[in-house]
Structure 1
Amino acid sequence: MPEGNHSTVTEFILTGFPGLHPEYEGLASALLFLVYTFTLIGNATVLFLFATDRSLHKPMYYIILNLSACDILFSTTTLPKIISKYWFQSGTISFTACFVQMYFVHYLGTVNSYILFLMALDRYLAICHPLRYSLVLKNSTICILSVTAWVVAKACPLMLVIRAYPLPYCASNIIHHCYCDHIGITTLACTDRAPYGFPAFVLAMIMLLGPLAFIIFSYSSIIIAVLKIANLQGRLKSLSTCSTQLIIISLYYLPRCFVYLASNVGIKFSADARIVIIMLYSLCPPMINPLIYCLRGKDMRESLLRQFNKRTVLQQAQISAVSD
């Protein structure tokens, strides 16, 4: 069949978790809804604190601002559809909408990787080159680098969509996943996937491992620089300044690297286990990250406490006014 003929497939069906028993679908949708709600509330809180507290207008928090925006967009791209599948039995997604979702899944994943690269760059300069930090990483510099990350990340996902959209989809329209991604869609094409799958895999590795290579280099340099500090208290203080970022980066990269390595050394997962692992490393970090910012980041924690105290004082004043 010639490429470009996909008239027999007008929509795709997302299976979600294929082995999930119907009686647990309500529980699964409620759990996913809670994850989505906590993700929105947590990251919206970070955005609110940044907008209302000028003390947070520092390079590190500009990076966190971008990460929170990316987390909100990624969760909004993936979760509402799978929640509606289990709540309203609406698992179908139109042909074009599936490719739009695929684009944003890969685009936002790439942006996330670039933002984590900036996070590692910030800590590398702060600890290994502290005298140059304020000269090199100004707020304006971080804004330019952040905008560049959002713009540059468009290219590869767009190319994936342009190459995958015209393929002939004439057989099954069932995607064994919770959202549309490149592998899930192109495996349904009635053509040899190799010319499309291998370049996509190479691009994914570049987008994932390129920033990861610098992250490993930067934190190795940080460890070496910290070990050279004679004062134990100075070492602990230096390490504490990058512990938050290291936790966030680990949540993003370690599960992904595990899945990629496992598949290459012959470790097989069931369809359900694979989807559960993918959903965990895709959706848990956006929900957990705000907690890490607020609990581990001193400035963010103090800003949150100030907002809480301000509201408490205001409520007490209103109660006093009513009672008088």
Structure 2
Amino acid sequence: MPERNQSFVTEFILTGFPGLHPEYQDLVSAVLFLVYFLTLTGNVTILFLFACDRSLHKPMYHIIINLCTCDILFSTTTLPNIISKYWFHSGTISFNACFVQMFLVHYLGTVNSYILFLMALDRYVAICHPLKYPFVLKNSTIIILSIIAWVIALAGALMLVIRAYPLPYCASNIINHCFCDHIGITLLACTDRAPYGFPAFVFAMVMLLGPLAFIIFSYFCIIIAVLKIADVQGCIKSLSTCSTQLIIISLYYLPRCFVYLASNVGITFNADVRIVIIMLYSLSPPMINPFIYCLRAKDMRVSLLKQIKRRAVSKKAQVSAICN
């Protein structure tokens, strides 16, 4: 009998945080809603500023727009389900919807990693080969590379879904997580997980360590190039242009590397601690990134203030017209 026909599970149940006491569920759901609201508000603001201000139409901001889009989609894919679980006590998700969510989680995570790779490439060319920058990384080049990143990321995520979907799911349907991911789903399969888990692990390592290796190499080259600058002010200015990206990259990669290394050296966490760590490194960067752009990027701050002043002047004009 084909494995597909042995599946009796029609829906999955997301536990969220298994050890969470009922009296704290409303508080946790409110925090998650606030995270979702801030993520949408911050990233939509960046998209709005980019659309309204042509001075932001530079290679670096084209990359940031891709990152904002990815962050909005990832948060929308993962957070509404777990918020509704605690608000409306509806923690179930259909069989097919769970696999769609799994695909989007891994697809958008891969795209995010590739976009961070592009950010590192942008800073590497700008600082190590400044004379070539206007010719090598034009807006059109960044747009093409971004499209390639979104397309290439499809392959790995589709592979995970295609291999996991036909497995027999005939026992527990409880996923100890806040959203559907490959590990959470395949652990419930009534079959040996090893042939499916190892390719997924290789995919995760390639997706994570491939871009990270170039990022480390690029910033190593950047530091060497900056140290050769005799002018102290020049050194500080060059490093400051990279600081925003280093913060974003650290938020994305360091917690993930910690979780992977911990699991490989035998460090174990209870279910709640593991889920909290995963939620922190999955949801914190999308929420924090827009505020980092606005606080650290001068062009973005100027554009934001310009839009605020423009709206203030427009409101005054409307009030004046009504009074007259």
Asked if Structure 1 and Structure 2 have the same fold, meaning a TM-score greater than 0.5 normalized by the shorter chain, the answer is yes
- Partner letter of residue 8 of structure 2? T
Shift of 1:314: 1.5
Shift of 1:264: 1.2
Deviation sequence 1:230-270 (CA, Å, 0-9, x none): 11000000001111111111110011001111111121111
Alignment match, 2:13: 13
Alignment match, 1:258: 258
- Is this contact kept in 2: 1:78–1:105, CA < 8 A? yes
Alignment match, 1:80: 80
Alignment match, 1:58: 58
- Partner letter of residue 128 of structure 2? C
Alignment match, 1:272: 272
CA distance in 2, matches of 1:217, 1:7: 46
- Is this contact kept in 2: 1:53–1:303, CA < 8 A? yes
SS of 1:113's equivalent in the other structure is: helix
Q: Which runs of 5 or more structure 1 residues have no equivalent in the other structure?
A: none
- Is this contact kept in 1: 2:156–2:203, CA < 8 A? yes
CA distance in 2, matches of 1:76, 1:18: 22
Shift of 1:3: 1.7
CA distance in 2, matches of 1:235, 1:311: 38
CA distance in 1, matches of 2:322, 2:4: 70
CA distance in 2, matches of 1:92, 1:195: 28
Alignment match, 1:105: 105
- Is this contact kept in 1: 2:7–2:167, CA < 8 A? no
SS of 1:134's equivalent in the other structure is: helix
Q: Does structure 1 residue 282 correspond to structure 2 residue 311?
A: no
Q: Does structure 1 residue 241 correspond to structure 2 residue 232?
A: no
Shift of 1:6: 4.2
Alignment match, 1:35: 35
SS of 1:13's equivalent in the other structure is: strand
The 5 Å alignment of 1:206-245 reads 206-245=206-245
Runs of 4+ in structure 1 over 6 Å off: none
CA distance in 2, matches of 1:89, 1:127: 52
Alignment: residue pair count: 324
Alignment match, 2:149: 149
Instruction: Please give the root-mean-square deviation of Cα atoms over the aligned residues, in Å.
Output: 0.9
CA distance in 2, matches of 1:197, 1:5: 21
CA distance in 1, matches of 2:77, 2:246: 26
Deviation sequence 1:197-219 (CA, Å, 0-9, x none): 01100011001100000000000
- Partner letter of residue 322 of structure 1? I
- Partner letter of residue 299 of structure 1? D
Shift of 1:7: 3.7
Alignment match, 1:137: 137
TM-score (normalizing by structure 2) = 0.99
Alignment match, 2:185: 185
Shift of 1:322: 2.9
SS of 2:131's equivalent in the other structure is: helix
CA distance in 1, matches of 2:30, 2:2: 43
CA distance in 2, matches of 1:60, 1:178: 33
Q: Does structure 1 residue 314 correspond to structure 2 residue 277?
A: no
Q: Does structure 1 residue 90 correspond to structure 2 residue 90?
A: yes
Alignment match, 2:205: 205
Shift of 1:26: 0.8
Pick closer, same or farther for the CA change 1:7–1:266 going to 2, 3 Å.
closer
Alignment match, 2:161: 161
Deviation sequence 1:147-184 (CA, Å, 0-9, x none): 00000000001010000000000110000000000000
- Is this contact kept in 2: 1:102–1:161, CA < 8 A? yes
Shift of 1:5: 2.7
- Partner letter of residue 91 of structure 1? G
SS of 1:154's equivalent in the other structure is: helix
Pick closer, same or farther for the CA change 1:126–1:45 going to 2, 3 Å.
same
Alignment match, 1:299: 299
- Is this contact kept in 2: 1:252–1:285, CA < 8 A? yes
Q: Does structure 1 residue 46 correspond to structure 2 residue 46?
A: yes
- Partner letter of residue 73 of structure 2? L
Deviation sequence 1:251-306 (CA, Å, 0-9, x none): 10011001111111121111000000000000010000000011101111110010
SS of 1:290's equivalent in the other structure is: helix
- Partner letter of residue 69 of structure 2? A
Q: Does structure 1 residue 69 correspond to structure 2 residue 105?
A: no
CA distance in 2, matches of 1:14, 1:249: 29
CA distance in 2, matches of 1:57, 1:8: 52
CA distance in 1, matches of 2:234, 2:24: 51
The percentage of counterpart residues that share the same residue type is 81
Shift of 1:2: 4.9
CA distance in 1, matches of 2:175, 2:266: 23
- Is this contact kept in 2: 1:5–1:167, CA < 8 A? no
Shift of 1:312: 1.2
Shift of 1:42: 0.4
